[in-house]
Amino acid sequence: MNRLPTLVTLLFSLLLAACQEQDSLDHIQKEGVLKVVTRNGPTTYYENRGTGTGFEYVLANMFADYLGVELKVTPVYGIDDLFLRLEKGRSHIAAASLTPSQERSLHFEYGPTYMKVRQFVIYRRGIAYADSVEDLIGRKLQVMQGSTQEETLRELREEYPELTWESPPKLETADLLELLENGDIEFTVIDSNEYIANKGFYPQLRVAFSIGEPSALAWALTSKYDNTRLQKKLDAFFEKIRGSGALASLVERFYGHNESNTQINSQTFVEAVELRLPEYKDLIEQVALEYEIDWRLLAAMSYQESYWNPRAVSPTGVKGMMMLTRRTAKEMGVKYRFDARQSLRGGARYYKKIYQLLDDTIPEPDRSWFALASYNIGRGHLEDARTLTKKQGGNPNLWTDVKERLPLLRQRKYFSKTRYGFARGDEAVHYVQNIRHYYSLLTWTEISKVRVPPPKVAEDLLPPALAPFYKAL
């Protein structure tokens, strides 16, 4: 009996199985899990009230849903640890606000780009200043180890041989900004998206200039498996979310409110959080719990309305912590608008009522932003803006689309065709963006209080005299 055909078939099957095992998409689908490695921070991933969030986390979760698998996220410290996991095949994708570098592109593939960025040189006002690369020579400059910024600095050193910097292991963007804020270093270099996301937390920090060429963020893929099929899925996924507006909405959700806010506003808010908020925080938390609202959102609203002043009065006659009109106060059962508890309860109840009246097709977090706009400008004007958005080909359920049309309600050629007429729509946009910014500051401030610092490495624990011997090992 000739066993050769059977043996050939068996060998072919084993070879095919081995090839399939080396396919990253097949690996993901077999396990039913997309393994993503990331970094901890506002632009990437962090835990908020027991749930993961952050731009990269939400984007990765969308891709996992697209593939029909679960998402498993592993946060690590430092760029090098990201790529080590990719190299070992412990993670399929690094979604970590990465810009493809020339050096790493030789060893790792990247998915489609999804956000353009620049590399900003950052300094703290009053401590240091620079106009050009020459001004960085001899100064205390630190960047993330293994980052694109460090690669750019190495390229600049060819033109400026005296340029030096430090890149301690395990440091993240938040650590570098803290060092800068505290005056421990004079300069750092980070991507523009990281600066936009963090600038509200550090109102004294400024952009000196940019270095390198403009680039774009992209996910890095594991080097252990073949990514041909995974790349096709990524191409299709990003094409879909670009076409639907979901990507633009996500960018606006995490970055839009920061771009429009000045650092003066942020500084004033940070000071108020320290000096005025403690007096009312317990009360705000109690009212927020009563009406099932995130206390940080109610705190941000009340700050935007009155700067946490229970006796605030506007020229138009609105009064109190939540600046209620006489009509709204009566409707919400508020008898004395200068009473902080009554005002907060009236404002929270009114916001909740507006929120519940909105179209059921509006998803979160856009639903919350629409409710805030209605609180400021009135539900009728918001619906006019949504109608106008739909007529112009936008999505009336996305805040990123509707906020572009709200200012048009000032113009006669637009408001004359609406049901409720003229409105200061630009003020409503500013109102919502401010509250989102303050909410973001409160959220990250709470999280940063319990943030675990990077792990110490052996070199950090050695006496200075022994450090050279450790490096030589």
3-state DSSP call for residue 421?
Answer: coil
Q: Which residue matches tokens 């800068």? A: 180
Provide the H-helix boundaries in 118-262. Answer: 148-157, 173-181, 192-198, 228-244, 246-251, 257-259
CA distance 426 to 407: 4
- With beta carbons less than 8 A apart as the criterion, state whether 245 and 395 touch: yes
The single-letter DSSP state of residue 104 is G
CA distance 158 to 260: 37
CA trace torsion 96, 97, 103, 107 (10° rounding) = 40
Q: Which residue matches tokens 């200012």? A: 407
DSSP-derived secondary structure for 236-298: HHHHHHHHHTHHHHHHIIIIIHHHT--HHHHHHHHHHHHHTHHHHHHHHHHHHHHTT--HHHH
CA distances from 57 to 34, 36, 71, 171, 259 (A): 12, 9, 9, 20, 21
Q: Which amino acid is at 400?
A: T
Nearest to 153 by CA among 117, 119, 106: 119
> How far apart are the two ends of the chain, measured CA to CA in Å?
62
- With beta carbons less than 8 A apart as the criterion, state whether 339 and 304 touch: no
* 305 labelled catalytic: yes
CA angle 293, 336, 275 (to 5 degrees): 60
Among candidate residues 178, 305, 427, 446, the one labeled active-site is 305
CA distance 157 to 429: 45
Q: Which residues are catalytic?
A: 305
